[in-house]
Structure 1
Amino acid sequence: MGIFAEAKAEVQFYDLDPMQIVWHGNYPRFLELARGALLDRLDYNYPQMAASGYVWPIVDMQIKYVKPARLAQKLTIRATLLEYENRIKIAYRINDDPSGELLTKAQTIQLCVDAGTGELRLDCPPEFIRKVEALRDGA
């Protein structure tokens, strides 16, 4: 599909664990930076989701730690939209910014839930699909 966005980050002291590498529980925060950039690109980030009457909880997250990230390391986080018709499935790659070396691979799945009723939808709202397809066709 080719719809992606990137975010940059620099590893801070508070990201580290006692072994002086990024604590595994901090990686979702890095993923969120790129997911937010991707959703901004689609013009369907959390405020637009809420305004459309839907919430999109993450129901699955998989992370593969390839190499550790360390203090002051500059990162590029790329989020690529894989699926959008029945759910939002996003693939992530976290790379060392200067070298491009792969550090982490991840994936998230979000499902659409009607904010008023709390009912799970088995499809994505037409408004969201239109936004994805308009960007896809124009990209």
Structure 2
Amino acid sequence: MISANAFVTVAFQDCDPMQVVWHGNYYRYLEEARRALLEKIDFSYQEMALHGFAYPIVDTRMKFVSPAQHAHRLEITARLTEWENRLRMDFVVFNHTTGKVCVKAHTIQCAVQLNSQEMLLASPQCLLDKVAACYK
């Protein structure tokens, strides 16, 4: 399975009044790992646009397991688990400071043609070729 990691240190402004990471900030952390994974398969957001596609997130799920706090060091792992008809990435946010998993999540993105704004029901060949190249 294709995967990539990103690391973040929790910033003071990412925490809520209870001194834990505000839940909405985890989506920014997932984006760091998603970007790393897309770059790993040579299909960055710029590359998508060059091929005439965007991949908006159409569904997401996040399970909060344990909290992270200011200055904690987090590792976010993204795994590409589906790509034939849509992009599904599964994520784990691991807290190196506490040794615990903070979050388990997944996102689903679908290809949209930039010129027509139509959503595709199958992934375009350019994405399939990029993923296939990672398995060679």
Corresponding residue for residue 124 of structure 1: 123
Secondary structure at the aligned position of 1:24 is classed as: coil
Task: Name the % identity.
Answer: 43
Give the AA of the match of 1:62. Answer: R
Q: Deviations over 1:7-28 (max 9, x none)?
A: 0000010100010000011110
CA distance in 2, matches of 1:70, 1:99: 10
Corresponding residue for residue 64 of structure 2: 65
Corresponding residue for residue 2 of structure 2: 3
Q: Does 1:54 align with 2:21?
A: no
Q: Does 1:15 align with 2:14?
A: yes
Cα RMSD of the aligned pairs, angstroms, is 0.9
Contact 2:60 2:107 in 1 (8 A): yes
How many correspondences in the alignment?
A: 136
CA distance in 2, matches of 1:19, 1:64: 19
Q: Deviations over 1:84-107 (max 9, x none)?
A: 010000000000125642110000
Corresponding residue for residue 90 of structure 1: 89
Secondary structure at the aligned position of 2:7 is classed as: strand
Deviation at 1:134, TM superposition (A): 1.2
> Gaps spanning 5+ residues in structure 2: where?
none
Secondary structure at the aligned position of 2:24 is classed as: helix
What TM-score do you get using the length of structure 1 for normalisation? 0.95
> Gaps spanning 5+ residues in structure 1: where?
none
CA distance in 2, matches of 1:97, 1:116: 44
Deviation at 1:44, TM superposition (A): 0.3
Corresponding residue for residue 38 of structure 2: 39
CA distance in 2, matches of 1:44, 1:88: 12
Give the AA of the match of 2:23. Answer: H
After alignment, is 48-57 or 93-102 more displaced? 93-102
